[in-house]
Chain A
Amino acid sequence: METAHRPERPSVRVAVELFGSARLAYGRAAVDVAVPARSRRADVARALAGACPELVGVAIREDGADLAPSYTFNLNGNLFVADEPVSLADGDALLLFSSLSGG
Chain B
Amino acid sequence: MFGYNGRILVVDLSDSSSRWESLDSRVLRDFIGGAGLAAYLLYEFCPAGADPLGPDNPLIFATSPLVGSRLTTSSKFAVAAKSPLTGFIGDSLSSSFLAPELKKTGCDAVVILGRAASPTLLVIDEAGVRFEDAADLAGLGTGDTEAAVKNMLGRGVRVACIGPAGENLVRFASISNDGGRQAGRTGTGAVMGSKNLKAIAVKGGASVPVHAPDALRRIGADLTRRSLGDATEKYRNMGTVANMLVFNRLGSLPTRNFSAATFDGAEGVSGEELRTTHHVRNAHCANCTIGCEQIVVTTDGGKQSRGRMEYESSFALGPLVGVSDANAVIRASHYCDDAGMDTISAGATVAWAMECFEKGILTSEDTGGLDLRFGNADALAAALRLIAERRGIGDLLAGGVRDASRKIGHGSEDWAMHVKGLEMPGYEPRSLKTMALGLAVSTRGACHNRSSAYEADFSAHVDRLAVDERRGKITADGEDFSAVLDSLIWCKFLRKAFDDLYEESAEIYGHVTGWQTSADDLRKAGERINNLRKLFNIREGWTRADDGLPPRALSEALSDAPVKGVRLTRRELDDMIDGYYRARGWTADGLIPDGKLAELGLPLHAFS
Interface check A10, CB cutoff 8 A = no
Interface check A81, CB cutoff 8 A = yes
Interface check B231, CB cutoff 8 A = yes
Q: Once bound together, how far apart are the Cα atoms of A98 and B459, in whole Å?
A: 11
Task: Report yes or no: A20 in contact with B271, Cβ–Cβ below 8 A.
Answer: yes
Task: Report yes or no: A95 in contact with B459, Cβ–Cβ below 8 A.
Answer: no
B:418-459 near A, CB below 8 Å: 448, 452, 454-455, 457-459
Chain A residue nearest to B448 (CB atoms) is A102
Q: Which one of B53-61, B196-204, B235-243 contacts A?
A: B235-243
Contacting residue for A82 out of B233, B234, B460, B561, CB 8 A: B460
Interface check B310, CB cutoff 8 A = yes
Q: Once bound together, how far apart are the Cα atoms of A28 and B243, in whole Å?
A: 18
Q: Once bound together, how far apart are the Cα atoms of A75 and B245, in whole Å?
A: 15
Interface of chain B, main secondary structure: helix
Task: Report yes or no: B276 in contact with A24, Cβ–Cβ below 8 A.
Answer: yes
With A19-B245, A77-B251 as known contacts, state yes or no: A70 contacts B310, CB within 8 Å. no
Interface check A68, CB cutoff 8 A = yes
Interface check A17, CB cutoff 8 A = yes
Interface check B275, CB cutoff 8 A = yes
Interface check B539, CB cutoff 8 A = no
CB neighbours (8 Å) of A20 from chain B are 234, 237-238, 242, 245-246, 271-272
Interface check B230, CB cutoff 8 A = yes
B:582-605 near A, CB below 8 Å: none
Q: Once bound together, how far apart are the Cα atoms of A77 and B496, in whole Å?
A: 24
Chain A residue nearest to B232 (CB atoms) is A100
A:45-78 near B, CB below 8 Å: 68-70, 72, 74, 76-78
Interface check A23, CB cutoff 8 A = yes
Chain B residue nearest to A100 (CB atoms) is B234
Contacting residue for A98 out of B234, B249, B292, B455, CB 8 A: B234
CB neighbours (8 Å) of B234 from chain A are 20-21, 70, 98, 100
Task: Report yes or no: B275 in contact with A24, Cβ–Cβ below 8 A.
Answer: yes
Residue-wise interface mask of A (68-103) relative to B, using a CB-CB cutoff of 8 A (1 in contact, 0 not): 111010101111111000000000000101111111
Q: How many A-B residue pairs have CB under 8 A?
A: 93
Task: Report yes or no: B240 in contact with A70, Cβ–Cβ below 8 A.
Answer: no
Q: Once bound together, how far apart are the Cα atoms of A82 and B246, in whole Å?
A: 18
Task: Report yes or no: A102 in contact with B249, Cβ–Cβ below 8 A.
Answer: no
Residue-wise interface mask of B (464-488) relative to A, using a CB-CB cutoff of 8 A (1 in contact, 0 not): 0100000000000000000000000
With A70-B496, A100-B233, A101-B455 as known contacts, state yes or no: A21 contacts B238, CB within 8 Å. yes
Task: Report yes or no: A102 in contact with B454, Cβ–Cβ below 8 A.
Answer: yes
Task: Report yes or no: B239 in contact with A24, Cβ–Cβ below 8 A.
Answer: no
Interface residues on chain A, number (Cβ under 8 Å): 26
Interface check B562, CB cutoff 8 A = yes
- Smallest beta-carbon distance A94→chain B, Å: 11
Chain A residue nearest to B245 (CB atoms) is A19
Interface residues on chain B, number (Cβ under 8 Å): 40
Q: Once bound together, how far apart are the Cα atoms of A20 and B233, in whole Å?
A: 11
Task: Report yes or no: A100 in contact with B250, Cβ–Cβ below 8 A.
Answer: no
Q: Once bound together, how far apart are the Cα atoms of A23 and B182, in whole Å?
A: 30
Task: Report yes or no: B250 in contact with A77, Cβ–Cβ below 8 A.
Answer: yes
- Smallest beta-carbon distance A40→chain B, Å: 13
- Smallest beta-carbon distance B540→chain A, Å: 28
CB neighbours (8 Å) of A81 from chain B are 460
Chain B residue nearest to A82 (CB atoms) is B460
Task: Report yes or no: B493 in contact with A103, Cβ–Cβ below 8 A.
Answer: yes
Task: Report yes or no: A68 in contact with B276, Cβ–Cβ below 8 A.
Answer: no
Residue-wise interface mask of B (266-286) relative to A, using a CB-CB cutoff of 8 A (1 in contact, 0 not): 000001100110000000000
Residue of B242, B275, B311, B452 contacting most chain A CB atoms (<10 Å): B242
Task: Report yes or no: B249 in contact with A103, Cβ–Cβ below 8 A.
Answer: no
CB neighbours (8 Å) of A23 from chain B are 272
Chain B residue nearest to A68 (CB atoms) is B230
With A81-B460, A102-B452 as known contacts, state yes or no: A17 contacts B249, CB within 8 Å. yes
Q: Once bound together, how far apart are the Cα atoms of A19 and B244, in whole Å?
A: 10
- Smallest beta-carbon distance A8→chain B, Å: 29
- Smallest beta-carbon distance B565→chain A, Å: 13
Residue-wise interface mask of B (30-44) relative to A, using a CB-CB cutoff of 8 A (1 in contact, 0 not): 000000000000000
| A and B contact pairs by CB, cutoff 8 A, 18 listed | A17-B249, A24-B276, A70-B231, A77-B250, A77-B251, A77-B563, A78-B465, A79-B460, A82-B460, A95-B249, A98-B234, A98-B242, A100-B234, A102-B458, A103-B235, A103-B239, A103-B243, A103-B292
Smallest CB-CB A-B distances: 9 pairs? A103-B240, A77-B562, A101-B458, A98-B234, A82-B460, A80-B460, A20-B242, A100-B234, A70-B230
Q: Which residues of B contact A (CB under 8 A)?
A: 230-235, 237-240, 242-243, 245-246, 249-251, 271-272, 275-276, 292, 310-312, 448, 452, 454-455, 457-460, 465, 492-493, 496, 561-563
Known: A21-B242, A102-B452, A102-B458. 9 other contacts (CB 8 A): A24-B275, A68-B230, A72-B459, A76-B562, A77-B251, A77-B563, A100-B493, A102-B492, A103-B292
